[in-house]
Amino acid sequence: MKKQSLYIAMVGLPARGKSTIATKLKENLMHDSVKTRIYNNGNLRRKIVRTDTSDARFFDPTNREGVAIREKIALLNIKRAQKFLNDGGQVAILDATNVSHERRENILSLLNDHPILFIECINDDEEILEASILRKIDMAEFGHLTREAAIQGFKERISYYHSIQKPLSGERNFIKLDSLNNKIIQEEIAPDIPYHDQIRDFLVTDTVKHLFLIRHGETHFNLEDRIGGDSELTENGWAQARALAHYFKKKQIPLIFTSEKKRTIQTAEPIRDQQEDCTIIPLEEFNEIDSGFCECMTYEEIRRDKPEVYYARKKDKYNYIYQEGEGYISMQDRINRGIKKALYLSDPMDNIMIVGHRAANRMILSHFLFRRTEDVPYIYIPQDKFYYISSTQNKKLFQLKSYHP
């Protein structure tokens, strides 16, 4: 059978997750033996342009020189993509903003030898955009600027793109994707578009290549069997954190997501300190279940002083909601949001680490591994082992591993 070829053109403002989606598509297509390559305009610009392109004015649509350079880069990548398909490649992904109507017209007129599918990434979640911008300004391109100047510059860059943005509508083949939630908002795909079932499926699936899901080390509250609170690690807990740090020393962990609680951040710190370049990102979404009016009590105190809580929870642990607090069932939305946030901020090819809590980790684990809800509150989450999770279209792997030598 003749191999079919396809151009995919990403569309979207900066920091909308286009490169993450492009990488994910490439990974999955390659796994299905579809020869795929990404042509990223930003990377090419950083490679070949000598002037300082961290300055937002470079992206001003009225700056003729900047426009000419960017158009030249776009053209170079369009030509390279075309050559790739003509040399036997199957999917060429143009990873650039492509937000203006003129740019897309240009792509359509130059690439008329194979079908084109436009994929627009949409995400207007302010908090996630802020976090994503913080990740972007880590790039060497902004190295000479203060943090504030880099953030400001990146936001100005976004507003320049915003001023020329025209959402997809008249194009023959397009998908509008909520890139935070992996949800298709709108799609128009002609039946002759090759690989479209695969592509659609990849777009809507949360995938993690390498996720290390760790529970914080032992705390003073753990020794007393007390729940909740914001207790610190014990000597043994610190030793566990150091053992984890030693275990992960040879793996590259660019980001560690924790909760906002001291015990998870303290567990992550020695791990970060053994890495060359690693940032801890505390997310409130990964906080432990809020046990409301039972916070800081021991299980024995609850059984003695609040038997109604103890027995109601025993009867239906997943659906029980602590008064003034949470239950497993009501944690689900925030935990899902935390996972989306962590995946959005990470490169899909990188190792991802989450240091969480017993109940929080149960919910994270069950996001990737189907468990009946009534079994979720009993998933085994020890402190001397961690879960390694690899969950893609093609592979589902869950391993409980010891980090001790």
Q: Which residues make up the interface to ligand F6P (CB under 6 A)?
A: 227-228, 288-289, 291, 357-359, 377
Nearer to ligand F6P, 171 or 326 (CB): 326
Please, what is the minimum distance in Å from the beta carbon of residue 358 to ligand F6P?
4
Nearer to ligand F6P, 271 or 359 (CB): 359
Question: Among 215, 222, 220, which Cα is nearest to 244's?
Answer: 215
Nearer to ligand F6P, 67 or 296 (CB): 296
Residue with the closest Cβ to ligand F6P?
227
Chain length of the chain: 405
Distance of alpha carbon 40 from alpha carbon 295, whole angstroms: 50
* Number of Cβ within a 10 Å radius of residue 38: 19
* Number of Cβ within a 10 Å radius of residue 81: 25
* The amino acid at 327: G
Alpha-helical segments (H) within 87-232: 101-110, 126-136, 147-164, 196-203, 220-224
Nearer to ligand F6P, 196 or 358 (CB): 358
Please, what is the minimum distance in Å from the beta carbon of residue 214 to ligand F6P?
13
Please, what is the minimum distance in Å from the beta carbon of residue 228 to ligand F6P?
5
Helix, strand or coil, per DSSP, at residue 194: coil
* Number of Cβ within a 10 Å radius of residue 125: 17
Please, what is the minimum distance in Å from the beta carbon of residue 310 to ligand F6P?
11
Please, what is the minimum distance in Å from the beta carbon of residue 360 to ligand F6P?
8
Nearer to ligand F6P, 17 or 228 (CB): 228
Please, what is the minimum distance in Å from the beta carbon of residue 291 to ligand F6P?
5
Please, what is the minimum distance in Å from the beta carbon of residue 126 to ligand F6P?
30
Nearer to ligand F6P, 187 or 260 (CB): 260
Please, what is the minimum distance in Å from the beta carbon of residue 362 to ligand F6P?
8
Nearer to ligand F6P, 85 or 289 (CB): 289
Nearer to ligand F6P, 195 or 320 (CB): 320
Beta-carbon contacts of residue 372 (< 8 Å; ≥ 6 apart): none
Q: How many CA atoms lie within 13 A of 346 on its CB side?
A: 29
* The amino acid at 379: I
Residue 298 DSSP label: B
Residue 261 DSSP label: S
Distance of alpha carbon 237 from alpha carbon 306, whole angstroms: 30
Please, what is the minimum distance in Å from the beta carbon of residue 219 to ligand F6P?
8
Which pair of tokens denotes residue 128?
């996630």
Distance of alpha carbon 30 from alpha carbon 393, whole angstroms: 12
Distance of alpha carbon 155 from alpha carbon 21, whole angstroms: 22
Please, what is the minimum distance in Å from the beta carbon of residue 355 to ligand F6P?
13
Nearer to ligand F6P, 121 or 289 (CB): 289
Nearer to ligand F6P, 20 or 291 (CB): 291
Which pair of tokens denotes residue 77?
């990548």
Q: How many CA atoms lie within 13 A of 244 on its CB side?
A: 33
Q: Is 24 exposed, middle or buried (0-12, 13-18, 19+ CB in 10 A)?
A: buried
Pair 27, 348: CB distance under 8 Å: yes
